[in-house]
Amino acid sequence: MKTILLVGDGLENPSVPDILNEFGHKVISMQDGPTALSFLSKGIPVDLVITDHRIDGLDGLELLASLKKLAPSIPSILLTDEGSIETYLKALSLGVFEYISKPAKAGELGRIVQKALERPQPFKYGSTNV
């Protein structure tokens, strides 16, 4: 079972947490960017971060920029309902694993999450064996 940090409040239609749970993952949900960054800075192991583009406190791109500095080995996925080339390119420059338009289809989201989790990582975030 992998732990996924899900950040955003507009992820209930379809229910992203339910989709991820169906694929056997543990989901930790947070409503805003500052709370998510505080959580990540404590070194609690997380295998993947999925963030909505529009979240309180920071937008998803700001969260990804901070994540890249704080824990660059954690893969990330950006969900958005207002996709643009500019947002897509910015997300790619921040190392996002995938950029998904909402609403996310269960099968597509599950496949992308699985690929992100299988990606080789140089070290395990939060590990004492670094």
The CATH number assigned to the domain holding 26 equals: 3.40.50.2300
Assess if residue 130 is contained within a domain: no
Assess if residue 125 is contained within a domain: no
Confirm whether pTM is higher than 0.75.
Answer: yes
Assess if residue 123 is contained within a domain: no
Distance CA(87)–CA(123), nearest Å, equals 28
Are residues 46 and 1 in contact, defined by beta-carbon separation less than 8 angstroms? no
pLDDT at 75: 95
Residue 62, pLDDT above cutoff 90: yes
101 is in which domain, residue-wise?
Answer: 3-118
Assess if residue 86 is contained within a domain: yes
- pLDDT-derived band at 123, boundaries 50, 70, 90: very low
Residue 9, pLDDT above cutoff 80: no
Assess if residue 7 is contained within a domain: yes
Assess if residue 56 is contained within a domain: yes
Assess if residue 62 is contained within a domain: yes
What length does the chain have? 130
Assess if residue 14 is contained within a domain: yes
Instruction: Return the ∠ at Cα 19 (arms to 13 and 22), rounded to 5°.
Output: 150
Per-residue pLDDT, averaged over 29-36, amounts to 92
Q: How many domains does the chain have?
A: 1
